[in-house]
Amino acid sequence: MTDKTEGTLLIAAPNGARRGKADHPGLPITADEIAAEAVRCRDAGASVLHLHVRDAAGNHTLDVDRYRQAIAAVEAAVGEDLVIQPTTEAVGQYSAGEQMDVVRALTPEAVSVALREILPEEAGPGEADESEVADFFTWMAETRVWAQIILYDTADITRFMALHRTGFFAVSRPSVLLVLGRYTVGQTSAPEDLDPMLDALAPVRAEVDWTVCAFGAREQDCIAHAIGLGGGGRVGFENNLLLPNGDRAAQTADLVALAAETARTLARPPMSAATVRQRVNDWF
């Protein structure tokens, strides 16, 4: 969201692919747990639920049936009050083809796709080529699946811009998620980490919808910085377990509520799911 006069897109990310109950007993794993957290996040101000599912052992999976079960549980709990956004996160387990297959099977309202996973710079055996991935984005646009493209660094942004200029993403206004920090670097981030990413995105920034997520205890500071600059925010246990004072949050909804209050303070209150859908539909 790049217009400061508009509301703020707030996405709740309550579990992710890696953390489990050992990290936080309140991290939702089952479909019913995810649905209960979805209600709390909706009430706290989120308009989108970023959805990961787990197998019977609690491990990351892109299993279509488990996605369907979780989506059905969330829809039963919140109706149309949240846009449900499954992920195609590979976690080193899934090829680009497998990622695309799960989206085609689900035909979800929204999906989160990492550019470097769906189109690796150095594709190995069995990976999709650029034309196949372009066809996939065209199919999503034609089917009205809202794709949010995950970008981890300025190199990803450079690749994204080059593809965007060719019409690769097949929509008038692509959506991107800018990731601050990593699991592999101590799970930390700072507001100033956003600035070089926005500098890199500057040539097309007015043409894209951008949101930020941030690892670690300064998540809320990073999200406030993004909201102040006209962006959206994704918060939750996938990236951070802590409140700004260092205490452990009880649930992702606590983190959503803080981001929502920041958005209201900055005169960019949280968007409703209906508003998000209206805006997204204009981009197809």
Q: 16-74 pLDDT, tens per residue?
A: 999 999 999 999 999 999 999 999 999 999 999 999 999 999 999 999 999 999 999 99
Instruction: Give the pLDDT score at 1.
Output: 39
Strands (E), 115-269: 146-151, 175-180, 209-214, 232-235
The letter for the amino acid at 177 is L
Instruction: Give the pLDDT score at 121.
Output: 83
pLDDT score of 128 more than 60: yes
Angle at 222 between CA 150 and CA 156, to 5 degrees: 25
Contact 220, 258 (CB under 8 A): yes
**Residue 92: pLDDT band by 50, 70, 90 thresholds?**
confident
**Residue 220: pLDDT band by 50, 70, 90 thresholds?**
very high
Contact 10, 261 (CB under 8 A): no
pLDDT score of 151 more than 50: yes
Q: Name the CATH topology of 10-281.
A: TIM Barrel (3.20.20)
User: Which residue's structure tokens are 């196949």?
Assistant: 132
pLDDT score of 123 more than 70: no
- Domain residue limits, the chain: 10-281
Question: In Å, how far are 38, 56, 86, 145 from 169, measured between CA atoms?
Answer: 29, 35, 18, 12
